[in-house]
Amino acid sequence: MGDASTNFTRRTFLKGSALIVAFSLFPKQARSELNAMGLPQILNKNLPGSLKSTPWLDAWIKIERDGKVTVCSGKVELGTGVRTALLQIAAEQLELKPSSIFFIAGDTGLTPNEGFTAGSHTIPDSGTALFYAAAQVRALLLEGAAAKLNASVSSLAIRDGRITSQDGRSIDYGTAITGIDLHRQANSSSQLKPPDSYRLIGHPVHRLDIPNKLTGGASYVHDLRPPKMVHARVIRPPVQGARLTSVDIAAAERLPGVLKVIRDGSYLAAVASDEWSAITAMRALTISARWDGGGNLPNPQTIHATLQALPAEDIVILNEGNMKTPQARSFKARYTKQYLMHGSIGPSCALALLEGGQMTVWTHTQGVFPLRHALAELLDMPDEQVRCIHTEGSGCYGQNGADDVAADAVLIARAMPGRPVRVQLMRDQENQWEPFAPAMITEIEAGLDNTGRISHWHYELWSGSHNERPGNAGKLVPGWLLSNPLIPSPSLPMLQPEGGGDRNALPLYAIPNARITNHFLPRTPLRTSAMRSLGAHINIFSIESTMDELSAMAATDPVEFRLRHLTDTRALDVVHAAAREFGWEHREKKRNRGTGFAFGQYKNLMAYVAIALELEVQPDTGKVNILRVVAAVDCGQIVNPDGVKNQIEGGILQSASWTLYEQLQFSTDGIKSIDWSSYPIMRFSQVPAKVEVHLLDRPGLPFLGVAEAAQGPMAGALANALAQATGKRLRNLPLAGPQLRS
Amino acid sequence: MTTQIHLNGVVKTVASATSTPLLYVLRDELNLNGAKFGCGLGQCGACTVLLDDKPVFSCLTPLGAAVGRHVRTIESLGSAAAPGALQAAFIKHQAAQCGYCIAGMVMRAQALLERNTAPTDEQIRAHMEPNLCRCGTHMRILAAIREVAAAGSLQQTRKGG
């Protein structure tokens, strides 16, 4: 951000100083609104899930006179299947088929504001809101029908959009609800169906979006083709902070199909009547553009030392017992993680249309409301004149280029009024400019008492920001490049209980003397933000690696050692289940093979996951073959069992790729992971031979988020299995490579 | 100047320049959604289509290279109402999460099963190696391909091209 921060203009100065004043005057609550989950104010803290901030029933469920039922959610489909799961929940309580409900998700013009779809919050927040809202609407439907059929509520049957009396008279939902206003606040109590009567919740339901995706249906923002649409491509600087000094715009505008080249400071984009012409113009502009300055990244070889030397905000998140009590044996280790990339298969894309003073944006953002606020600030328009409509994209796994490209779309659409503008990033642009998952360091000093129990736990971690999401326009790359550049608002730590870098830094194990510190680094050299599980990946990797090393010091089986330190019965249950299903007790040690175990409850608040696995390392090449992975999961009341399994399997494979293979390549003069050969991810020859997921259902208990729950435990189980297979304890991620040869 | 290609069993006349990558002709001129832009470099397989029964990266294949040859996209295999054998197996196994890679996966698998009706698991993995999935849906993709291979049910959809 060298360019943006050193090139103050009146506009940015005023905006910047206004922000600084705001930060110093407002209490912490107000500060966090600019930089947390993007959630609106809580209006009724006694209500469940997102009803807390959007308590009106008709914000979630609308019933037309003709009986058509519309369900709204502020959480969006990112490829995890939540659309189907949310519909299962609403349809269960409303006694409808999921396919008969009209579902709207993530539209600033139509749906509740539920902030970002992130952190495995969708089912606990939006699913819970719909669960209770729909139950209350069902009760109102029955009340309305009772009056109209002149029958008692208890005598009525409700099913598939009709309510029937004992004598066979029936009315549809539209008639039943007539005269009842759903614009009312939810009650704090609901009449709920008993879990054993569920027909949809807890039953595997095929995802509604998959057939279309498999048959060439229009499924993504990339597939939108409104009339009069034009295509655009952007030209990003070669390195962060570089300024555009000259470019041959006239030559590019003479190319066939090119409608316009837009330049504003260092911001450069080409608009054409067709996509290939836009790409051709982008290439011509890339060749003629001359840039000055920028770059200056740290040496990647010493990145972790560089990070640890940066100014930090030290947050002690746990300080219990007395660290000076004597310990029988002690253990000390340091773990590191490299910068990772989200690596969406489809580079980010957005459409925008400026018409009649209204900007409409079709975007695969994770947060339509916070993004709208940022885009409005970028365009100097009131929020009300910008509408963001979520349309699916390629899986994002956190903040990828989705928000940036939405900013590109509106900047270009402003110059092309009346024309829908479609912009997609190129692969190298997505890779070089996305906010990476932060590189991190953890350090542990642990001690055992003379009975072989953990007596001490001194843990520290260093991490840059895991949340640079919009809300503030300065968080978006295009704003940095304008002649009046925007600067990002200061980075703030995400606090416990969910945490950011310190997510899952608090072990669930019972330890009498513990001190845990999060060294939050407000300014780090590379742009970073949220990627699935945030700090939980390295924290659980560190904790679970340490648990194995301590269990060896205590001469105790690793599973037994974990059980000894767990008190939560649900945690004990998943550990037992994974060990049993894997056959942990009967495992054999074979040459070049290793078994590993790990456990974690995501954020210590969401799904419980225990993983046991076996792998083999080829001694001459170091190649890792994962032979079998067994996971046990408790996510409370299961909504869609097959959906949960799909998410856990995906988390296991994705984490295997991060943990074994991934590392952002960069040098002092820029990001070098520009494609899939410079940022390899797991391919078919590397995926496990077998993955089994065992679900522990908890009927009637609250929904616990699941999509990011396997990443940490998988990393720990891999580290532990590799240590056994090779005899080498690896503490620096990624783990695969020449160091595994023997 | 126009160009004719055989697309999904039908002759299509297109106006794009012959140097245009086939991907953009399919998506932008013929309004087909199946083939996706992933990298433009032939490294991810999201754009995979069949050219004379062989899987190719449509992002790297110029339109001119498809003249006089048969191009097949996922749209030729079936529809949501009447899916082809692989499409049905992918639906049965719920072998997708975000699904952006999935049309490319199906087309590459289709090429294998048309050529080798009983591939081993190792052959399936080796054949699928060029295609990337980031959601980690690989186990389900493999299960769906194995099932179609075991059932020998691909022949029904063979006529599409």
> B interface mutation test: which of A214, A366, A662 has the most B CBs within 10 A?
A214
3-state secondary structure chain B: CCEEEEECCEEEEECCCCCCEHHHHHHHHCCCCCCCCCCCCCCCCCCEEEECCEEEECCCCEHHHHCCCEEECHHHCCCCCCCCHHHHHHHHCCCCCCCCCHHHHHHHHHHHHHHCCCCCHHHHHHHHCCCCCCCCCHHHHHHHHHHHHHHCHHHHHHHHC
SS3 call for A449: coil
Mean pLDDT of B19-30: 98
> Tell me: the pLDDT tens digits for A48-96?
999 999 999 999 999 999 999 999 999 999 999 999 999 999 999 999 9
What residues of A are in contact with residue B38 (Cβ under 8 Å)?
A: 345-347, 427
Half-sphere exposure of B73 (CA within 13 A, CB side): 25
**Helices assigned H by DSSP within A66-127:** 82-94
User: How far apart are alpha carbons A649 and A634 in whole angstroms?
Assistant: 14
pLDDT-based confidence at A18, cuts 50/70/90?
Answer: very low
Q: Is the pLDDT of residue A6 over 50?
A: no
What residues of A are in contact with residue B91 (Cβ under 8 Å)?
A: 206, 210-211, 214
B120: closest CA of chain A, how far (Å): 13
Q: Is the pLDDT of residue B103 over 50?
A: yes
The A residues from 675 to 714 touching B (CB cutoff 8 Å) are 675-677, 681-685, 687-688, 690-691
Phi, psi dihedrals of residue A613, rounded to the nearest 5°: -145, 160
Look-up of token digits 């316009």: A260
User: How far apart are alpha carbons A134 and A141 in whole angstroms?
Assistant: 10
Q: Is the pLDDT of residue A8 over 60?
A: no
3-state secondary structure A150-168: CCCHHHCEEECCEEECCCC
Mean pLDDT of A273-280: 98
8 Å CB contact of B97 and A80: yes
Q: Is the pLDDT of residue A731 over 70?
A: yes
Mean pLDDT of A717-738: 98
A669 Cβ under 8 Å from any chain B Cβ: no
State the ipTM, two decimals: 0.97
For residues A487 and A474, is the Cβ–Cβ distance under 8 A? Answer: yes
8 Å CB contact of B137 and A649: yes
pLDDT for residue A672: 98
Q: Above pLDDT 70, what percent of chain A?
A: 95
Q: Is the pLDDT of residue A30 over 50?
A: no
pLDDT for residue A206: 97
The B residues from 14 to 53 touching A (CB cutoff 8 Å) are 16-17, 20-21, 24, 27-29, 31-34, 36-41, 43-44, 46
Q: Is the pLDDT of residue A727 over 70?
A: yes
Please, which residues have CB within 8 angstroms of residue A451's CB and are 6 or more apart in sequence?
Answer: none
8 Å CB contact of B98 and A211: no
B121: closest CA of chain A, how far (Å): 10
Angle (CA) A363-A364-A370 rounded to 5° is 75
- The domains located in chain B, with CATH, are 3-76 (3.10.20.30), 85-157 (1.10.150.120)
8 Å CB contact of A79 and B77: no
User: How far apart are alpha carbons A174 and A176 in whole angstroms?
Assistant: 6
8 Å CB contact of B44 and A393: no
pLDDT for residue A742: 86
Mean pLDDT of B24-34: 98
The B residues from 77 to 106 touching A (CB cutoff 8 Å) are 77-80, 83, 87, 90-91, 94, 96-103, 106
8 Å CB contact of A211 and B137: no
Q: Is the pLDDT of residue A16 over 60?
A: no
8 Å CB contact of B83 and A214: yes
> Tell me: the pLDDT tens digits for A189-231?
999 999 999 999 999 999 999 999 999 999 999 999 999 999 9
B47: closest CA of chain A, how far (Å): 10
A485 Cβ under 8 Å from any chain B Cβ: no
A646 Cβ under 8 Å from any chain B Cβ: yes
User: How far apart are alpha carbons A225 and A630 in whole angstroms?
Assistant: 44
Q: Is the pLDDT of residue A22 over 60?
A: no
Give me A298's structure tokens. 């740290």
pLDDT for residue A501: 98
pLDDT for residue A38: 73
> Tell me: the pLDDT tens digits for A638-669?
999 999 999 999 999 999 999 999 999 999 99
pLDDT-based confidence at A346, cuts 50/70/90?
Answer: very high
User: How far apart are alpha carbons A15 and A9 in whole angstroms?
Assistant: 10
> Tell me: the pLDDT tens digits for A410-435?
999 999 999 999 999 999 999 999 99
B33: closest CA of chain A, how far (Å): 5
> Tell me: the pLDDT tens digits for A127-152?
999 999 999 999 999 999 999 999 99
pLDDT for residue A36: 52
